[in-house]
Amino acid sequence: MDTKYIILFFIIVISMFFLNTISNNTISNNTIENFNSPSDTLEIHSLQLDENREKYQEFQEIQEKILDTYNFQIGYNSINNTNSNSIGVCPLGKYYVGEFEKDKIDFKKCKDCTKCNKGYYLKHGCSGNTDSICEAEKVPHNIFMNSHTKGSKIHNVINPHQHPYGYKYQINNKSKQNHKLSSIKHNHL
């Protein structure tokens, strides 16, 4: 063997031994820093709570306009047995599961609201500590159409639906078209 390869081999072995020793000393002396996740801090929780309440209030304003214009109740709102302190704690589309204590808010207890089945829409609930209350009724056409505008906040509370797309004429019959259907769970950009 060439001497340069022997020297290289010893340098690698010594380096590995040195790095292993440093690594073991660092771990045994507990010098590894434990960083808290930003979401575990009180400041972040406070900001999250403020944002959730602000978005809930914005949705309530949209809801009031719909109620005034169409006399139709739709979307996230509280009912009689909803704890008023729990309203706006969870983001829209989630509700607080379990016993709510105003001084001990646990964001891990925010769970997705039950989705309404096809033919139903979200009439009440999905707010505070109350799950969805769905009703079997068609949403008025104007509300349905407005929910499909860019950035609409009510699309997730109307009846689950699909959209046809990708129209193609049949080869043998130009008057008939084939199309695909979107997923029931979709967004509009």
The DSSP line for 46-109 is HHHHHHHHHHHHHHHHHHHHHHHHH----SSB--TTS-GGGTTTSPTTEEE-S---TT---GGG
Average pLDDT over residues 171-177: 71
Type of residue found at 108: K
On whether residue 71 sits in a domain, the answer given is yes
Q: What is the mean pLDDT of residues 124-136?
A: 92
Structure tokens at 22: 């440093």
User: Is pLDDT at 140 greater than 80 in this prediction?
Assistant: yes
- In DSSP terms, 125 is beta-bridged to 77, 132
pTM of the model as a whole:
0.65
In a domain, 86, yes or no: yes
The mean pLDDT value of the chain amounts to 82
Asked whether residue 167 is domain-assigned, the answer is: no
Is 33 contained in some domain?
Answer: no
23 burial (CB, 10 Å; 0-12 / 13-18 / 19+) is exposed
pLDDT of residue 1: 58
Where is pLDDT greater, at 90 or 4? 90
- Distance (Å, whole) CA 86 – CA 112: 15
In a domain, 174, yes or no: no
Domain assignment present for 47: yes
In this model, does residue 31 exceed pLDDT 50? Answer: no
- pLDDT at site 141: 86
- DSSP-derived pairing of the beta strands 130-136 and 120-127: antiparallel
Which range marks the domain in which residue 94 is found? Answer: 39-148
Q: What is the pLDDT of residue 18?
A: 80
| 46 located within any domain | yes
Q: For the segment 68-108, what is each residue's pLDDT rounded down to a tens digit?
A: 999 999 989 989 989 989 999 999 999 999 888 888 888 89
Amino acid 189: pLDDT: 55
DSSP letter at 24?
Answer: H
- The answer to whether position 160 is within a domain reads no
Query: How far from each other are the two terminal CA atoms of the chain, in whole angstroms?
Result: 67
Position 188 scores a pLDDT of 60
Q: 33-42 long-range CB contacts below 8 Å, 24 or more apart? A: 39/107
Higher pLDDT, 39 or 125: 125
Residue 25 tokens read as 């000393």
Report the number of distinct structural domains present in the chain. 1
